[in-house]
Structure 1
Amino acid sequence: MHSMDELGTEAGLTRAERTARRRRMLRRRRRTVTIIVAALVLLLGGGAVAVTVTGGAISDVLGRDTDYEGEGKEDVVVEVAPGSSLTQIANQLVEEDVIRSSRPFIKEAERREASFQARSYALRTQMSAAAAVEAMLNPDTVPQVQVPEGMQLKDISARMVESGMDLEAVDAALEDRTPADYGLEVEAPSLEGYLFPATYDVRPGSTAEDVVQEMVDRTAAEIEELGLAEDEANEILTLASLVEVEAPGDPEVRRKVARVLLNRIGPDSATDGLIQSDATVAYIHGAREDLTTTEEERGSDSPYNTYRHKGLPPGPINSPGRDTVEAVQDPAEGDWQYFVAVDPDTGETKFATSYEDHLKNVEEYREWLRSHGESTDAADSAAETGGADG
């Protein structure tokens, strides 16, 4: 329980400030408990003292079965880490002032043969042990934002809104913002490609900026873990985002596609330094089901148009997955300049060093389209443009 002085001091504070203040009080009480335990040991002449300190109040030391009553008070989210034992979870809940002491929670969990997953739990402060176990066994559904590999910023924005976030708040968190606005110091034109593909819980009280911050933080952690220098991160992620569209699936195919794109912007380019990727044109205008583009669309002045502008586009065109980034970091060895998926069902992709050989592969793709009763427009476009993805 809190004294009148404590409650008066908390008046006017936000929920987060009240929670932080109570945690500080819990830590101070724990230090007091430690002093008392040490004194008891000295008074008893150093004999064995069967005391387990699991909580933030003296009663936890002298009576480990103390418990709160009821369903709790203020909302709090507790993040259970992978590999946490039942005792560790109980101690964490005491630390967060969800339960008063660990033993009743452990007893209740063992009685119910409970097993808790590593995840976020929406709980309340000062719950009874039984109520806490029940809440963790039957957790409230927490809204989530799922970001699969290859998803674009506009679609991530839509999913954030679908999770219950305010549209204006989402727009403010994403539009005209760069990774640097969220602490990731890389040169990039926007947040495109820097919202790491994963599933994110929208915790109670979280803002759109909080969720975006978590996404960018995950990207920053991946960049560090993969050993990417900040001055090369944008280039690597941009290349990976193209490969993510051009070669979903087989890691070896991705490594070869990465090599084709690098060859096209390298000194021995057969396309005068132009990547000629329909994926980048589709990023500008929107993608068709067959991923083809028109001559008019390929004439766009956008810096993302790799039919008109040499080299890589200024930034990623989607959020590439880690496997794709790793493939780009270790591209296959070869002098290919062209590739085409000759069997979309199996993903079989053929590579060529000359345009003549490429046309033979395109003809194989055309035959596949005919045999499946589909239009050969995609193959015709691939032959006409000689694009990297055709």
Structure 2
Amino acid sequence: MEKMMAFEPAEFKTRIQNFKDKLIEHNIDIALVNTPENIFYLTGYQSPGYYMYQGLVIPVNGDPLLVPRAAEIPNVMLYSWLNEDNIVSYDDTVDPISVTIKCLKKYLQTNSKLGIEMDSKFLSIKQFKQIGENCHASIVNIQGMIESLRLIKSPTEIKYIKEACHVADKAMGAGLNAIHVGVNEDEVAAVMFEKMVSSGGEYLGMEPFVSSGYRSGNIHAAWGHKEIKKDETILMELAGCRNRYHGAIMRSAYTGSNPSDDVKRATEVCINALNAAINTIRPGVTSGEVDEACRGLIEKAGLYNNFRKRTGYSIGIAFAPDWGEGQIMSLQKDDSGILREGMVFHMPPAIRFPNEYGVGFSHTVLVTSDGCKPLTALDCELKLIDL
């Protein structure tokens, strides 16, 4: 069997050691990782089947043990650097937490410190309590430790994000070309999906958004069976994915040659705000400063109430329900996080009038040594659709 690992084993083992170094720094003896993105980052294992329990036990003094559903073992062997000695699986009729507890107890000693991701969506309260009641250890929160390692992307990670952005550009371009009066939003979404897959895109962390007319004023409006009509704004956003790494893009269109002054103004404010953020990004600035550059223009235009969100977020590894890494770092008001070379962000300023109209534009950008580089290449303009 030929492996399908996204990275060489040496890179995964370096990530494991970097994580162990953080555990040692905090006097933590063993960690339990449940978040799919973090398990992928440390092992390469991936599957849409993460709706079933999976856990990665990492002792400071010992080899990692993955606790997957037994049916997923072929995927573990295909995508990860782990071997049979690193896998302790469970059948569907077996409680996976009891298996996890056995793995933990193999390394736990009196007064051991056990690190758990306490903000993970993939360890229930019941499961957490079960571990605490059966593992006589001091439990501490390790949320953010692995995420801090994920924030700055390696050259190979950047390569995958660039490929994902290429997929996003292709799919968005196809979607914009599919817009015509009388066409259903579903048809536009279908064209985008076809181009995404044919361009090498993989399953996404979040569905594309296609909204026209009054629906374009509502955030996160996926295609909704609506017919596109004359003199409507269309707001679309999607991501491409390569080896679980995502790159996203947002663009807008108008069915006609003469948008209203309000639509023109909202478009101009969005694009100027995006460009202001791009021009502010460089190593050493804070995420709050980038947000101020974007949000400040929107506030001066008197449109903040039609914005009311962060400027952007880190993007990289993702499984549903999100394509972003906002839990790692967001470009938002008064945030003191420092930007560093190798970080990647998606910035989607949008102006929305709920149930009326909306426009938005974005780029996925890489922080470089002296600024930033957009990785999405599609022209940033309101596309006018000939009638």
Global fold match (TM > 0.5): no
- Max Rg structure: 1
Normalized per residue, the structure richer in helix is 1
Give the TM-score of the pair, scaled to structure 2: 0.27
Give the TM-score of the pair, scaled to structure 1: 0.27
